[in-house]
Amino acid sequence: MKNKWICTDPSCNQYRAQLDDTRFLFKEDRVVNPETGETELFEDEINLDDLDRVEITEACQPFGYTEEQVGKWLAEGEEFALMAECVFEMSV
């Protein structure tokens, strides 16, 4: 169901909402001060249509996904939410 917030990582209170096939909203608590544990809410909209294959692959590789996997997902229209989550997690 689109536009419903789904928890994708409870350890950092990360949530995802799908806007359409390639656009997703993400929000999570990010640590801004490791000494005190202080966090701030970080939000971003990820639109996979705004990124090329190289950019998506580079965001997914640190999480163990190969260039071949990402290429297959893009070609077959699969795992868009997972790829968008990788992009979000690599964003500053």
Bridge partners (DSSP) of residue 18 are 24
For residue 3, the model assigns a pLDDT of 75
pLDDT bucket at 92, cuts 50 / 70 / 90: confident
Average pLDDT, whole number, for the chain? 95
Percent of the chain with pLDDT over 70: 98
Q: List, for residues 61-88, the tens digit of each pLDDT value.
A: 999 999 999 999 999 999 999 999 999 9
Q: Residues 3, 47, 88, 65: is their CA dihedral positive or negative?
A: positive
Residue 55 lies in a domain: yes
Asked if 47 and 56 touch (Cβ cutoff 8 Å), the reply is: no
Residue 49: inside a domain = yes
Domain total of the chain: 1
pLDDT value at position 84? 98
The burial of 60, by beta-carbon neighbours within 10 Å (0-12 exposed, 13-18 middle, 19 or more buried), is given as buried
34 phi and psi, to 5 degrees? -60, -30
Residue 64 lies in a domain: yes
Domain assignment present for 1: no
Q: Which helix (H) or strand (E) holds 86?
A: helix 80-90
Q: Which domain holds residue 64?
A: 6-90
Decide if 68 is inside a domain.
Answer: yes
The whole-number pLDDT of residue 2 equals 65
Mean pLDDT of 32-57: 97
